[in-house]
Amino acid sequence: MAERLYTTLITCHLDGHAHNVTDESVAAGREAGGYEALCDHRIVPAPMIAPVGERCPGCTAVLAPQEPDPAPPRVVDRGTGSAGGCGGSCTRAGDGLRFDRPWSGC
């Protein structure tokens, strides 16, 4: 399981976006007066009375859940079935269709 990431939104005076900043970055940037956002933007904090800016698309992308691994390919076993007298490898007479499951007609 992934480790939790705690962030604070801080609006940048330069681009007007609200960026996500980790608690560690807030602590580290307190002395310097600037913070490193998740999107690597260097934030110059807007005044506290300024409205919160629009969410930064870069930080939003970093926080987006990762795509799950694609499902493994579906394996269809043709011709090794156990039902039916032919072992599932027969074709229906006349039309040449092959079945994913043994055809009960043989």
Residues that bind Zn ion (CB under 5 A): 19, 37, 39, 41, 56, 58-59
In this chain, which residue has its C-beta nearest to Zn ion? 56
CB of 34 to Zn ion, least distance (A): 13
35/103 with CB nearer Zn ion: 35
Euclidean distance between CA atoms 22 and 11, whole angstroms: 14
What is the CB neighbour count within 10 angstroms for residue 10? 24
Cβ proximity to Zn ion: between 22 and 89 the closer is: 22
Question: Closest separation between CB of residue 3 and Zn ion, Å?
Answer: 20
- The least distance separating Zn ion from the CB of residue 36, rounded to whole angstroms, comes to 10
Query: Minimum Å distance from CB 27 to Zn ion?
Result: 18
Amino acid occupying residue 84: G
Nearest CB to Zn ion, comparing residues 41 and 102? 41
Q: Rounded to an integer, what distance in angstroms lies between the CA atom of residue 12 and that of residue 18?
A: 6
> Which is closer to Zn ion, CB of 37 or CB of 46?
37
CA distance 37 to 9: 9
And the tokens for 6?
Answer: 């705690």
Which of 105, 80, 97 minimizes the C-alpha distance to 89?
Answer: 80
